[in-house]
Structures are given as structure tokens and as C-alpha cells.
Amino acid sequence: METVKKHFFSDMGVMLGRSMRHISRSMDTIFTVCVTPIAMMLLFVYVFGGAIQTGTDNYVNYLLPGILLIAIASGVAYTAYRLFTDVQRGLLERFRTMPISRSAFLWGHVLTSLVSNALSLVIIIIVALIMGFRSSAGVLPWLAVAGILALFTLALTWVAAIAGLSAKTVDGASAFSYPIIFLPFISSAFVPTESMPTVVRVFAENQPVTSIVESIRALLSGQPVGNDIWIALAWCVGILLVAYYFAMRVYKNRA
């Protein structure tokens, strides 16, 4: 068992290094992920912000959590694309003939997604600070926010793995991210759910993005989180476990 674990982590490190080298050679993918969320943040703050009633004087503070989730949803699409490309090039079969842990191939892509999305989020937060974002949160709340975002990234990345392994075309590999990117618009990310029609409000208040956004917003503002954080964690862990199970099934079938 110890030998298997040792080989797994060493193999995963090699695959992570391989994927990260691809990222380092095309840093434009990280900036591309940032462009749309930053553009949306500029649009909503400086164009629509004055007309939106959120009960706060600093709309950037209210908006930022949803923008971060949109950036993650955009970023994981590249994981699906990279996986699809590897499969089409026959790398899956090549790695299969080598004495390496089978799941290390997938985990290399997943961890790369975690690192690249973290870099994108840092860039977006820096822009938000320039736009006036301020937080009274201490170190522990910020760590909690980082943990929620990392868990959300892992959950969506495993969903992306399913798309990347099972898609027939490049467009199909990344198309799964469109509904996920759209979810924050039907949540409390941009406006309070109280202003929505009844049917839309019920959906918005009971989908995963709202609880995640509310948890991050409360943590960054130094307010009590309440039950939202447990609901958010339950959603993230649930999506992660289900997506991981199906991703591994698809991967084994392809291998």
C-alpha cells in the first residue's frame, strides 16, 4: 500500500508538472479567463450599479463573490478542452501502456485547474481592490473564503473532466460551462432575491450559487454566516463526489 501511494503521488506530481508547463507556455488562457468577469464587474459597477438597490453603499463588495464564481466556471472549461485534446491525440492510450498510476493523469489536470483558477481569482481581486473593494475580514475568514472557492473549483473541475473525456468535439467539451456561468445571474450574486418574481426567487434561493455567494459575502464583510456556509459546503461536496464518481467511470471506460 505504501509503495502504491508513493508511486501515485510521484506520478501525479509528474502529470501536474506537465500540465503546468502547458499553462506557463500559454499564460494568455489565465488572462482570457479574467477578461469577461472583469468586464462584467466594470459594467455592473459603473453602468448599472447606481440603479441596483442592494442595501449597501459599496456595490463592488456585493458583486465580487458572484464574479469570482463566474471566473471559476469559465476557467474549468479550459480543463475540459485540455483533456479533450489529450484524448484526441492518443495520450490516454500512451499513458496506459506506461507503468504509472491510472488516475494520476486526471488528477494532474484537476490540480492544474486549481492552480490556474487561483491565479485568475487573485488578478480579479486586485482589480476589485482598485475599483474600491474593501474587506474587514481577518485571516481566518479569508482562509475560509479560499477554502470554499477551492472546493467549488474542484467540484466544477470534475464536472469538466466528464465533459472533456466524453465529448465528441471541441465545442462540446467546453459547452457544459455555459449553464454554470449563467447560474450566478439567477441568484443573489447581482441583486437581492427579494426583488425577483416568485418562481424565479424560489429557484434562486435553492440553487447552489446563492448559498456560496451569501457565505463568501458574509465572511468578507465580517458578518455572521449562519446556515449558508453549511448549505454551500454540502452543495460543493455533493457535486464533487457525484462528479468524481462519474468522471472516473467515464475515464475507465475510455481507458
DSSP state letters, the chain: -HHHHHHHHHHHHHHHHHHHHHHHHTTHHHHHHHHHHHHHHHHIIIIIGGG---S-S-HHHHHHHHHHHHHHHHHHHHHHHHHHHHHHTTHHHHHHTSSS-TTHHHHHHHHHHHHHHHHHHHHHHHHHHHHT------HHHHHHHHHHHHHHHHHHHHHHHHHHHH-SSHHHHHHTHHHHHHGGGGTTTTS-GGGS-HHHHHHHHTSHHHHHHHHHHHHHHT---TTHHHHHHHHHHHHHHHHHHHHHHHHHHH-
Amino acid (one-letter) located at 4 = V
What is the count of structural domains for the chain? 1
Distance between alpha carbon 106 and the CA centroid of its chain, in Å?
17
pLDDT tens, position by position, 212-234: 999 999 999 888 888 889 999 99
- Would you say 77 and 174 are in contact if contact means Cβ atoms under 8 Å apart? yes
Residue of higher predicted confidence among 185 and 4: 185
- Structural domain boundaries, residue 180: 2-254
Nearest to 250, CA basis, from 160, 170, 182: 160
- Compute the distance between CA of residue 168 and CA of residue 119 in angstroms, rounded to an integer: 30
- pLDDT of 8 higher than 90: no
pLDDT tens, position by position, 53-65: 777 778 899 999 9
CA dihedral over 113, 119, 120, 125, signed as positive or negative: positive
Say which residues have a Cβ less than 8 Å from residue 146's Cβ, sequence separation at least 6. none
Quote the pLDDT of residue 12.
66
pTM equals 0.87
pLDDT tens, position by position, 237-246: 999 999 999 9
Distance between alpha carbon 46 and the CA centroid of its chain, in Å?
25
